[in-house]
Structure 1
Amino acid sequence: MFQNGDYVVYGCKGIHKIIDKTTLNMDGVSKNKEYYVMQPYDKPSGSVYAPVDAQKINMRKIMSKEEANAFIKTVPGIGILDIKNNKQREDAYKECIRSCDPDELMRVIKTLYVRKEERISQGKKLTLTDSHYMQQAEGILYDELALVLDMPKDNVPEYISGIVHKSVV
């Protein structure tokens, strides 16, 4: 159970703030079913309703600052997805992103960074599909890290590189 004011990662939808709990007065919806009223982190004027007992969509509380820094130190050990088939690789991206797991989000980011470098060396651009999943994974993970580390989102990749470099040297 989450409390009002908690920030959560809500499936592939990103960071949301729990504002309230309510029931919905709509045809076809049980009057006894409770929903979280959530505010998207990147769209404070919006509202999202998520069932309190949701089981199809992963939702987790965001990391603490300590957990975020500990996670960043594990980044070098996170492997990439080695899947040659485009459809299977896209399915793996979707599954990793839906999981809300920071390790899986970073796995997608690292995989797509490697693919981007390979394609650039061949004189090609990142495919639209790859670009979409890279933006989605980076958006979710970097928003979370920016929030808990109290820094602009644009500074997150450099911050990660700095910590990773210090832990390797």
Structure 2
Amino acid sequence: MFKVGEYIICGSNGVCQVEEIGPMKIPGVSKDRIFYTLTPVYSGCSAVYTPTDNEKMIMRPVLSREEAWKLIENIAEIGIYEEPDNKRRDMIFKEALKTCDCKEWVKIINTLYLKKKNRIAQGKKEITSDEKYLQAAEENLYGELSIPLRMPKEKVESFISEKVDALIEDEAFA
């Protein structure tokens, strides 16, 4: 069970802070069932109520500072999705987003950055669905990493880019 004040990932709601734990104070709702009252950190939603025993929704703690650093250090090794069929890749991306797994989000970002770079080099435009998945993966990843890195979500992308570039440069000279 999570604790009041803790930051968690709660399904498609993204990063949420646990505000209360207890029965719902709404007439008609059983007082025997315990709920989390969550405040989404980055969405406009005012509150999310979910049972503490909800097994259908993925709920997990936000990465620790150490886990966040380890993830950043391993971004290049996480790799890409190598599915050539766009429709199947879209299905893979949809499922990967639902897992609420940072490595899956990184894999989507890696795949789509590489694809975007290749398309631009060929003089082609980006694919709209790719941009949608890239935006969703970045939103999820940067939102989560902002908590353990203690920085605004808007600065996480450039911070990661700098760190990954530095790591690649260090390895090139090793």
TM over 0.5, shorter chain: yes
AA at the equivalent of 1:106: V
Q: In the aligned structure 2, how far is the partner of 1:147 from the partner of 1:58?
A: 18
Q: In the aligned structure 2, how far is the partner of 1:105 from the partner of 1:115?
A: 15
Which residue is equivalent to 2:32?
Answer: 32
Distance verdict in 2 for CA 1:109–1:26, change over 3 Å:
farther
| Aligned counterparts, 1:39-118, within 5 A | 39-43=39-43, 46-118=46-118
Name the SS for the 2:49 alignment partner: strand
CA RMSD of aligned residues (A): 2.0
Distance verdict in 2 for CA 1:78–1:50, change over 3 Å:
same
Gaps of 5+ in 1: none
Correspondence 1:167 to 2:161:
no
Name the SS for the 1:155 alignment partner: helix
Q: In the aligned structure 1, how far is the partner of 2:135 from the partner of 2:123?
A: 21
Shift of 1:18: 0.7
Q: In the aligned structure 1, how far is the partner of 2:116 from the partner of 2:166?
A: 25
Q: In the aligned structure 2, how far is the partner of 1:156 from the partner of 1:106?
A: 13
Report runs of 4+ in structure 1 exceeding 6 Å deviation: none
Name the SS for the 1:5 alignment partner: coil
User: Given the two structures, how large is their TM-score scaled by the length of structure 1?
Assistant: 0.88
**Is the Cα contact below 8 Å between 2:62 and 2:147 reproduced in 1?**
no
Shift of 1:74: 0.9
Q: In the aligned structure 2, how far is the partner of 1:73 from the partner of 1:167?
A: 7
Shift of 1:107: 0.4
Name the SS for the 1:125 alignment partner: coil
Q: Which has the larger radius of gyration?
A: 2
AA at the equivalent of 1:164: V
**Deviation digits for residues 42-90 of structure 1, max 9, x if unmatched?**
1476101122112222111111222211111111101101112222111
| Aligned counterparts, 1:148-159, within 5 A | 148-159=148-159
Q: In the aligned structure 1, how far is the partner of 2:53 from the partner of 2:129?
A: 32
**Deviation digits for residues 89-146 of structure 1, max 9, x if unmatched?**
1111112111111111100111111122222223333222211111111011101112
Name the SS for the 1:97 alignment partner: helix
Q: In the aligned structure 1, how far is the partner of 2:57 from the partner of 2:144?
A: 18
Name the SS for the 1:76 alignment partner: helix
User: Given the two structures, how large is their TM-score scaled by the length of structure 2?
Assistant: 0.86
Which residue is equivalent to 1:141?
Answer: 141
Count of aligned pairs between the two proteins: 168
Distance verdict in 2 for CA 1:125–1:46, change over 3 Å:
farther
| Aligned counterparts, 1:114-133, within 5 A | 114-133=114-133
Gaps of 5+ in 2: none
